[in-house]
Amino acid sequence: MASIPKIYTIQEVESVISEPQFAPELINAIQEGFVAYSRGQFNAAPIQTMGAPPMAPFVNVENYCAQTCVKSGYITGGTHYVIKVASGGYPHPNGGLMQLYSQQTGKFEMLLLDDGLLTELRTAAVGAVAARMLAPNLSDKAACIGMIGTGTQARYQLQYLAYVTDCRKVRVWGRTEQNITKFIKDMASEGWNISAVESPQHLLQSPDDDWYCPLIVTTTSSRVPLLQLIEDNRRKRPLHITCIGSDSTGKLELDPKLVASADLLVADSRIQTKERGEFEDAIKQDLVSLEQVMELGELALNQDSWRTSDNDSRLTIFDSSGVAVQDCIIASMFAQRVNTKSGMNDE
Amino acid sequence: MASIPKIYTIQEVESVISEPQFAPELINAIQEGFVAYSRGQFNAAPIQTMGAPPMAPFVNVENYCAQTCVKSGYITGGTHYVIKVASGGYPHPNGGLMQLYSQQTGKFEMLLLDDGLLTELRTAAVGAVAARMLAPNLSDKAACIGMIGTGTQARYQLQYLAYVTDCRKVRVWGRTEQNITKFIKDMASEGWNISAVESPQHLLQSPDDDWYCPLIVTTTSSRVPLLQLIEDNRRKRPLHITCIGSDSTGKLELDPKLVASADLLVADSRIQTKERGEFEDAIKQDLVSLEQVMELGELALNQDSWRTSDNDSRLTIFDSSGVAVQDCIIASMFAQRVNTKSGMNDE
């Protein structure tokens, strides 16, 4: 254990993850990871959160809320166990690193100073997995991807969705004009046909036949619902919503009544969605039961239960709150790639 | 956070910890650390244990029991938070490393590849703290230090005791002739006047007036009591026992009746001694109550309650199960020393 781990800087990490086959391989690997997770083959240690109540703040200054989470785990029979150290909160930018240790030898093999980049990508990958399984009608001429949120994760979501659909039309809503303008400009330069909508609800209501969003992806840190139930049942076409943003207690992006109206609720982790996911409020209000929620890994195993045709008008919702198995998958994939490239064989 | 931490190899760590003032400074710092701990100024994250039930083994081979613990924490108002990764169990040797992150910036500053050495030393230091507070009569001409156990930690205990007492006489018991012979040879070469006893109990019974053990230190991984109560009350002289070895559920070195006969029970951590310390069985058998157990940090704050004279015949017992505050203290002290030496100023 005492040997020096190989260290990868953010520049080296960026170079590996930009290789052409990285993203599509990651999408498949993340799907397999969730199958292992739902089969009980992922071993997650309790999360260590420092700097947040009930612990003392790191620095006793008003508004200071920097904190650090340590997430550790491993896949049964996998190559590595992974320790991820993620930090964020005012006044520091979000950051993070991943550590890989051999399950065979216990040796600290690699330190990835990725600054949270791998977390962004493994989150983008799960959005692509869910869209591939559940989003209907994306090949429809009028189809658009509806984006709620214009931050870094929104960008990665689109980049990764490009691997699972040919749809290149996007409608976006954001909190400020400035954010929206910048997002549209940046995404247009990456080849997306993109324009803004007035409100999140417009994405649901499909105001004309020229565009229609069969897939909506939310990536905000909202604490109030951004999408409401359409009471008069005007939504006649199928829809899938992927919720990325709500990942801690109190955050939500969907009206609990909209959640309750869904035909299929899917979560990355059933246990987490109850505590800090998008379905938290609907469950607390007894509008849905936790037993109704299917896990992504279960869905991947049970292909019969997927959307059967593009003509069904069902609403499906996927909630991602982020699971350590994703960290384990992306870190192990990174390790395999750099080891293969360097001709290394650690056996 | 993404900058490369300074890395210290085991050789570099050894060089720093061998500096003449390191050990006595550490003993004082560890005492201060326990004061902070007992005052509620240490923030300990839940321990992450991987590779052990209920998790899957890292490798599915018979007798394989390698596991890894991640212990994290920080002192309120301190310089760093520390993440310690310790691994051990068949077929791997024990190992470990410590990571220091700035509480001010979140930056990963140092990676100490100490291979568990700093854990040995912070454990030795707490033995010295307890002996300084509680061991009677060590200046008596006949006084010896009684050692039960002949492993690595037994050696460090003696090395650190040398900073708090002038006593250089030792009586030792170990599991095998071979271990005892080697221990005696090694310790004699370090200047100790050392010989073996037939059984642990001999250390308690002081068979003649030429030697008498006012301090006994246990460092075994025993699961059966090694020291029994002397029923007929022959022990007329004061005694302090420091128990280092028992640090997980099921391990014990003292007969619960001997524990119950003590006049003062002290633990590094009250909460831990109940779950995985030397007083576990005595508490379970209702021979003592947890409320009777004083913490080392409380004792350090409340000097009145210490042993009042070398003539009192009281029995005191200190149980160390190991607390993350010790890791934090030794890692921070290491950081301060190397930063001072290199003329660094991280402000």
Of B267, B209, B225, whose CA–CA distance to B242 is shortest?
A: B267
Q: Which residues of A247-275 are buried (b: 16+ CB within 10 A; e: fewer)?
A: beeebbbbbbebbbbbebbbbbbbebbbe
- Do the chains contact at A72 and B74, CB–CB below 8 Å? no
What type of residue is A174? G
Q: What pLDDT is attached to residue A347?
A: 41
- Do the chains contact at B60 and A46, CB–CB below 8 Å? no
- Do the chains contact at A58 and B74, CB–CB below 8 Å? yes
3-state secondary structure string across B182-241? HHHHHHHHCCCEEEECCCHHHHHHCCCCCCEEEEEEECCCCCCCCECCCCCCCCCCCEEE
- Do the chains contact at B81 and A50, CB–CB below 8 Å? yes
Query: CB atoms < 10 A from the CB of B342, how many?
Result: 9
Q: B103 to chain A: which residues are within 8 Å by CB?
A: 51, 58-59
**B106 to chain A: closest CA residue:** A87
Q: A4 to chain B: which residues are within 8 Å by CB?
A: 7, 9, 113
Least confident stretch, A148-162, B222-236, B248-262: B222-236
Per-residue tokens: B310: 């070398």
Query: CB atoms < 10 A from the CB of A238, how many?
Result: 21
3-state secondary structure string across chain A? CCCCCEEECHHHHHHHHCCCCHHHHHHHHHHHHHHHHHCCCEEECCCEEECCCCCCCCCCCCCCCCEEEEEEEEECCCCEEEEEEEEECCCCCCEEEEEEEECCCCCEEEEECCCCHHHHHHHHHHHHHHHHHHCCCCCCCCEEEEEECCCHHHHHHHHHHCCCCCCCEEEEECCCHHHHHHHHHHHHHCCCEEEECCCHHHHHHCCCCCCEEEEEEECCCCCCCCECCCCCCCCCCCEEEEECCCCCCCCCCECHHHHHCCCEEEECCHHHHHHHCCCHHHHHCCCCCHHHCEEHHHHHHCHHHCCCCCCCCCEEEEECCCCHHHHHHHHHHHHHHHHHHCCCCCC
Least confident stretch, A101-115, B12-26, B251-265: B251-265
Mutate which: B58, B80, B99, vs A, most A CBs within 10 A: B58
- Do the chains contact at A106 and B83, CB–CB below 8 Å? no
Q: What pLDDT is attached to residue B190?
A: 96
- Do the chains contact at A101 and B114, CB–CB below 8 Å? no
Q: Taking a C-beta distance cutoff of 8 angstroms, is the pair A285, A209 a contact?
A: no
Alpha carbons A157 and A241: distance in angstroms, whole number = 13
Q: What pLDDT is attached to residue A124?
A: 98
Q: A87 to chain B: which residues are within 8 Å by CB?
A: 1, 101, 106
The SS3 assignment for B244 reads coil
Q: What pLDDT is attached to residue A340?
A: 87
Query: CB atoms < 10 A from the CB of A31, how many?
Result: 21
Q: Taking a C-beta distance cutoff of 8 angstroms, is the pair B318, B296 a contact?
A: yes
Of all residues in chain B, the percent with pLDDT exceeding 90 is: 72
Looking at the complex, report in whole angstroms how far the Cα of residue B59 sits from the nearest Cα belonging to chain A: 6
Q: Does B37 touch chain A (CB under 8 A)?
A: no
Q: Does B79 touch chain A (CB under 8 A)?
A: no
Q: So what's the ipTM on this one?
A: 0.89
Looking at the complex, report in whole angstroms how far the Cα of residue B66 sits from the nearest Cα belonging to chain A: 8
pLDDT beneath 70, residues of chain A: 1-2, 206-209, 231-235, 246-249, 303-312, 344-347
Which phi and psi angles does A304 have, rounded to 5°?
Answer: -55, -30
Mutate which: B8, B41, B48, vs A, most A CBs within 10 A: B48
Q: Does A10 touch chain B (CB under 8 A)?
A: yes
**A76 to chain B: closest CA residue:** B56
Of all residues in chain B, the percent with pLDDT exceeding 70 is: 91
- Do the chains contact at B56 and A45, CB–CB below 8 Å? no
Q: How confident is the model at residue B299 (pLDDT cuts 50, 70, 90)?
A: very high
Query: CB atoms < 10 A from the CB of B274, how many?
Result: 16
**B91 to chain A: closest CA residue:** A105
- Do the chains contact at A4 and B96, CB–CB below 8 Å? no
- Do the chains contact at B48 and A48, CB–CB below 8 Å? yes
Interface of A with B in 190-219 (CB under 8 A): none
Per-residue tokens: A43: 């071993």
Sheet strands side by side (includes A143-148): A193-196, A169-173, A143-148, A212-218, A239-243, A315-319, A264-267, A294-295
Per-residue tokens: A334: 């990174």
Least confident stretch, B162-171, B245-254, B293-302: B245-254
Of B197, B119, B196, B184, whose CA–CA distance to B158 is shortest?
A: B184
Q: A104 to chain B: which residues are within 8 Å by CB?
A: 58-59
Nearest to A56 among B45, B68, B76 (CB): B76
Q: How confident is the model at residue B95 (pLDDT cuts 50, 70, 90)?
A: confident
Q: What is the mean pLDDT of residues B236-252?
A: 81
- Do the chains contact at B70 and A81, CB–CB below 8 Å? no
Least confident stretch, A305-309, A339-343, B242-246, B333-337: A305-309
Q: What pLDDT is attached to residue B346?
A: 46
Q: Taking a C-beta distance cutoff of 8 angstroms, is the pair B150, B182 a contact?
A: yes
